[in-house]
Amino acid sequence: MANRPLDLTNPAKAKFEAWIAGIDTRIQDPATDRNALCIELCKGFYGVPDAPRSVHEEVMLLNFDPRNATLEAEYYSELIPAKWDPIKPLIWLWQMFDNSPLNANVWLGLKFRAMLGKHIFGSCGTGVKFFTGIEWSFGYNIRIEDNATIHRFVLLDDRGAITIKKGASISDYANIYSHWHDLVDPSIVNLGDTVIGEGARVTYHTTVLSGTKIGDHAMVGTGGLVTKDIGDYEVAIGAPAKSRRLKPDAPAELEGATGLKR
């Protein structure tokens, strides 16, 4: 079933759009102090005054400053400061938004995160939808093409590289990895290149391991564990995930090439 066509009424919609556009313009301005911008916006998100009235508000204000917070990715040795430092304030801003009352407004959240995404990720196309609770490692190793959808509480582990192609959909609580640890010495980290193909669907609670490729228009069933490549139009299920059939719209020649039925 297609989604219902929902929109907001003016003047709220116009105010929201102008607010997001203004933040976008400030981020693009090289003169903008992104840490100061994050602090300013977080004060508004949470309604905390400039002058703290208690130690609790003082701690809250300090925490709004990205320079006073550490993120897990900063502990990873392969972090590249020249790429990380400019986007850390925006990552922190994303997280502070997601934990604020504003996050309950789905329309506003989708627009706000789409704006931030084009400044955070290695590349981010148009029409991309980011729902609440998404986490990633560095951000700059993620490439997302037009009209992809990342649903709630997805983990994008981009210690290596992750590519999400045009129109792909990653469902709630899926985990996409791009690194693995050495069997003997877990301090040795190997980096991979993980690809989610055009129009592919990674469904609920699926785990995609590092270095695997899910083909164009393929689908991984709920709770799947992808340890090997999944071909175009293939439907894979299980742990480990195995291709069981082709989607009904698969090209006829794939039946002979794969031995799978539509």
User: Does residue 19 sit in the same domain as residue 116?
Assistant: yes
- Residue 82 domain flag: yes
User: Does residue 139 sit in the same domain as residue 44?
Assistant: no
Domain that holds residue 176: 123-247
- The string over 85-97, giving b where at least 16 C-beta atoms fall within 10 Å of a residue's C-beta and e elsewhere, is eebbbbbbbbbbb
User: Does residue 166 sit in the same domain as residue 212?
Assistant: yes
Q: Do residues 156 and 179 make contact, with C-beta atoms less than 8 angstroms apart?
A: no
pLDDT tens string, the chain, 262 residues long: the values are: 778 888 898 899 999 999 999 999 999 999 999 999 999 999 999 999 888 889 999 999 999 999 999 999 999 999 999 999 999 999 999 999 999 999 999 999 999 999 999 999 999 999 999 999 999 999 999 999 999 999 999 999 999 999 999 999 999 999 999 999 999 999 999 999 999 999 999 999 999 999 999 999 999 999 999 999 999 999 999 999 999 999 999 999 998 889 899 8
Quote the number of domains for the chain: 2
User: Does residue 168 sit in the same domain as residue 228?
Assistant: yes
User: Does residue 37 sit in the same domain as residue 49?
Assistant: yes
User: Does residue 128 sit in the same domain as residue 214?
Assistant: yes
Any residues with CB less than 8 A from the CB of 196 and at least 6 apart, and which? 162, 163, 164, 165, 168, 170, 176, 202, 208, 214
> What's the whole-model pTM score?
0.95
Coil, strand, or helix at residue 212? Answer: coil
User: Does residue 73 sit in the same domain as residue 116?
Assistant: yes
- Residue 261 domain flag: no
